[in-house]
Amino acid sequence: KNEVEQSPQNLTAQEGEFITINCSYSVGISALHWLQQHPGGGIVSLFMLSSGKKKHGRLIATINIQEKHSSLHITASHPRDSAVYICAGRPPSGSRLTFGEGTQLTVNP
Amino acid sequence: GAVVSQHPSRVICKSGTSVKIECRSLDFQATTMFWYRQFPKQSLMLMATSNEGSKATYEQGVEKDKFLINHASLTLSTLTVTSAHPEDSSFYICSAVAQETQYFGPGTRLLVL
């Protein structure tokens, strides 16, 4: 069992749909990152959160520390949102991240 | 936000040659940088932690004599793949730490023929 697990592994949606990607972790963390990797390979850090909820544009990330669970939501999805979304946990000390396997999102027009 | 660059973005080399990849933090200083490798359809795999002014810390199974890391300054870390073989072909990504956040470079795609 991976220390950080994501679901689903693959997700296909129609433009405009509301999307949710889930992340569960079994290790102690001080913060959880949501990353976006486009087909070209570059990685963008979307959120880093340790509690509650953060919002940036159409993206919303939530975390429940007690349940060791985080979700990434995309409202009004668009084809340009197509990418791999990765959650990663940061340990209580140090900066080394533990990565989930990633969720491949495809948004069709 | 903080910017990390990598050079080159893509490199093709012959088997047996060495390839150097640079990772720079452009607008901040980073005492710690990470080097990752990513194979197709897989997640990032940490290779080593690069610490400015000291030796890198390598993950289990990563040959330190094959993947040489030099963190010469607070804004530059280099990864040299020595005597490259086709199985070293991969996507190499670095990240630099600033204020507890990792900022990722755009990656370097290495193809060894």
Interface test with B, best of A6, A43, A46, A103 (most B CBs within 10 A): A43
* Proportion of chain B above pLDDT 90, given as a percent: 74
Tell me: pLDDT of A2 over 80. Answer: no
Mean pLDDT of chain B, nearest integer: 92
Q: What is the pLDDT of residue A104?
A: 96
- What residue in A sits closest to B90 (Cα-Cα)? A41
Summarize pLDDT for A47-100 with one digit per residue, the tens: 999 999 999 999 999 999 999 999 999 999 999 999 999 999 998 887 889 999
CB-nearest to A45 from B38, B102, B106 is B102
Can you spell out the DSSP letters for B72-103?
A: EETTEEEEEE-S--GGG-EEEEEEEEETTEEE
- Which residues of chain A make contact with B44, given a CB cutoff of 8 A? 43, 86, 99
Tell me: pLDDT of A1 over 80. Answer: no
